[in-house]
Chains A and B, each alone.
Chain A
Amino acid sequence: MNETQFKRMKDLPTTHLLGTGAPMCAGCGGLQAINDIYDVLGEKTVFINAAGCMTLLSIYPFTPFRGSWLYTAMASAPAGAQGVRDALDILLAKKKITPDENLTTVVLAGDGSTSGMGLSATSAAIDRNLDFIYICYDNEGYGNTGQQYSSATPHAARTSTSTGSAGFSGFKKDLFAIWAAHKPTYVATVIGAEPLDLARKIETAASLTGPRFIISLSPCPTGWGFDPQETTYIGKLAVKTGIWPLKEYKDGKVSHTKNPHVRVPVEDYLLTQARFKHLFEPKRNDKLIDEIQSKVDAYWAGITP
């Protein structure tokens, strides 16, 4: 990767390529990220979608995409990408299409599909060194069905299927580590609230070939319980508290692209969202709050700045 074209905020596009009027919820952190991602990837793309919130982007006869789209099912979007990629390669080899007609194959899937039933299809796509970009919008639950917990739900979060006083008893699955363990070309975490970091990573991903992965933490007003205007603020807090580390895996190495040297206490992040309200009301649950804080501290203790 040579010089980035995104040196500062004013280098980012001022208008979005993705059409407006999509039926996503107001303040959708996933849509925020996809807007920025699409600006960089451009319209010579085919999005292969897994069942989730973003399936509703393209409803007959409308689509906000200027390029192509194929909806598959919940578990097999990477296999759909395999079929499209292979077919495009066959058409190119047979000179049925010219190289300028070629498209980048992009999987678009939520955390429920990605960390659950879609994981084996993803793992196998990496085995086969599939040339594609995988974008996971991670709203930390089965958002489209009303925020039931998924394996991407953080510890203690209240969801519609973890309504007890301790919230979700499990721990958020480390997708970044799982993907990186497969040694693909590229893995990165992003968030819409940090658009410069996001644009540079998509730029990097687009410049490479092979399996490339982007996971975007996607603050979800309806699922997490906050006012839609807080999306960017909460996203920034996720980074500042160290809860959402911005990092990338390339050439076998993991590096952090933003290191919050003085981390804001996780409590500031938890307090912004109704899904963590039970940690503070009616009685403060210091044990759980400390547990969350110490997990974050332990993560960063292992990171050399």
Chain B
Amino acid sequence: MVGSRLMRPDLQKSERLRQRIQELAGTDVGRCYQCGKCTGGCPLVEAMDFTPRQIMRLVNWGAEDEVLRCQTIWVCATCFTCTVRCPRQIKVAEVMEALRSLARREGVRSPARDILRFHRLFLAIVGRFGRLHELSLVMGYKVFTGRLFQDLGLGLQMFLRGKLSPVPERPGGARQLARIVSWWAERERKGGR
């Protein structure tokens, strides 16, 4: 039991993963000396399964499955606190972003499905209209997740204050945006296979 849970560094995998992160984020996770300053300043660490420091360690151990399948990379709100504080100049938030990109490209099944659903819905709306229509995003998300009545009062309050525009705007550039979004969607499909 214990034996199966012990993790050993896989240097080959580590090299490859670090290389791919380097390409996407322009930063070398290999520089990490595990001081934990990223974790200390992270506002969302309580909602994560691995701390940012642990993510750095897992990358350096080549634990690709773990880092691509965790909650942490999706809970990260890209506030950049870790990036500006890292004494080794690792762009930690950018590493998280790179890991999210990799997870999507590899078609990894994410445990943070609600967050992913939010992002995908956002992209669908922007791909359709060229601009974000907030009411569609909020309503769509509530319908998809079955949390229809949560925040209903708040929605009414916003509506009365003219904060929810009922009709989406659609500029001419929407078509070009649709093209960019479908480039991404196509790659997602390939990743999912």
Say whether A associates with B.
no
